């Protein structure tokens, strides 16, 4: 069994996040995190709750996992903001890459944010021995006006699919089948055209992807008690898998995560 997790960390703002994060991801072979901050020097005094978040995670998981950081934007103090992918030593993970799906790489990061300065996708190959899994996580466009279809999200979906398609040519498959696992904070609702564009794509199989949230009771509620009650929707995070994984992939949503996003756990029989 392969255990994967996806979680938006809310920049480490939740009380108790540091202690929780020390062990929360230890059972996963691969975990992808968004809204991660990295600043390898002494913690500066500023508005960021945990600017050394990535470095703390590296220290906490140094004996078990390897980390890969993908910079999305940088503050005026040189604090990087982005994605992090960790995988357990001994797992056959190869070729970790990242790519901008909205905005500009290395964009200047300021607050308050009217629109997210840069969004990314990060992906890696996993060799099960008899097949390949292309495992990808993303952090999607946030807009102050809400979660609705717009030209920016249409363009973002096209870039997500382009990244996945491009990566299909990166590996010598040796005749093994390829399956895709895509998860993270899409900043979508289930009804959006931008999500359906991704779900319907043939790279996931003849009938498109399986949205694992559809298979779970209250699967679209991916928020925790830290999320503002007054907000219009609790949709945000999704996991899509290739049609061939439909009977082998199980999603669990952990709303006890120390973030305003739930921890999405995926178990895949391999």
Q: Which domains does the chain have, with CATH numbers?
A: 2-268 (3.60.10.10)
pTM: 0.94
Distance in angstroms (rounded) separating the CA atoms of residues 162 and 24? 32
Cβ-contact 57, 22 below 8 angstroms = no
Q: Between the CA of residue 186 and those of 35, 58, 70, 120, what are the distances in Å?
A: 12, 25, 17, 10
On the question of pLDDT at 76 being above 90, the answer is no
Q: In the numeric block, which tokens belong to residue 168?
A: 């299909």
Residues 170-180: tens digit of each pLDDT: 877 778 999 99
Q: In the numeric block, which tokens belong to residue 41?
A: 């020097």
Helix axes 17-24, 53-60, angle to 10 degrees: 40
Q: In the numeric block, which tokens belong to residue 175?
A: 């005749």
Find the helix or strand (DSSP H, E) in which 165 lies.
helix 151-167
Residues 171-214: tens digit of each pLDDT: 777 789 999 999 999 999 999 999 999 999 999 999 999 999 99
């Amino acid at each position: 069994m392969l255990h994967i997790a996806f979680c938006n960390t809310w920049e480490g703002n939740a009380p108790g996040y540091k202690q929780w994060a020390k062990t929360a991801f230890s059972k996963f072979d691969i975990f992808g995190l968004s809204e991660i901050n990295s600043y390898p020097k002494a913690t500066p005094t500023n508005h960021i709750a945990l600017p050394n978040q990535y470095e703390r995670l590296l220290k906490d998981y140094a004996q078990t996992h390897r980390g890969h950081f993908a910079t999305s934007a940088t503050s005026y103090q040189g604090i990087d903001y982005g994605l992090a992918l960790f995988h357990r030593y001994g797992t056959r993970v190869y070729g970790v890459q990242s790519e901008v799906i909205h905005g500009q790489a290395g964009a200047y990061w300021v607050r308050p944010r009217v629109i997210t300065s840069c969004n990314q996708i990060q992906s890696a190959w996993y060799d099960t021995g008899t097949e390949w899994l292309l495992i990808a996580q993303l952090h999607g466009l946030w807009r102050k006006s809400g979660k609705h279809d717009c030209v920016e999200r249409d363009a973002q979906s096209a870039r997500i699919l382009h990244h996945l398609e491009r990566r299909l040519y990166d590996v010598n498959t040796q005749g093994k089948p390829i399956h895709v696992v895509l998860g993270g904070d899409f900043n979508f609702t289930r009804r959006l055209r931008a999500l359906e564009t991704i779900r319907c794509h043939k790279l996931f199989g003849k009938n498109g992807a399986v949205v694992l949230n559809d298979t779970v009771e209250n699967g679209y509620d991916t928020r925790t008690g830290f999320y503002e009650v007054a907000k219009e929707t609790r949709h945000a995070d999704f996991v899509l898998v290739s049609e061939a994984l439909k009977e082998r992939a199980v999603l669990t949503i952990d709303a006890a995560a120390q973030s305003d996003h739930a921890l999405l756990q995926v178990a895949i029989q391999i």
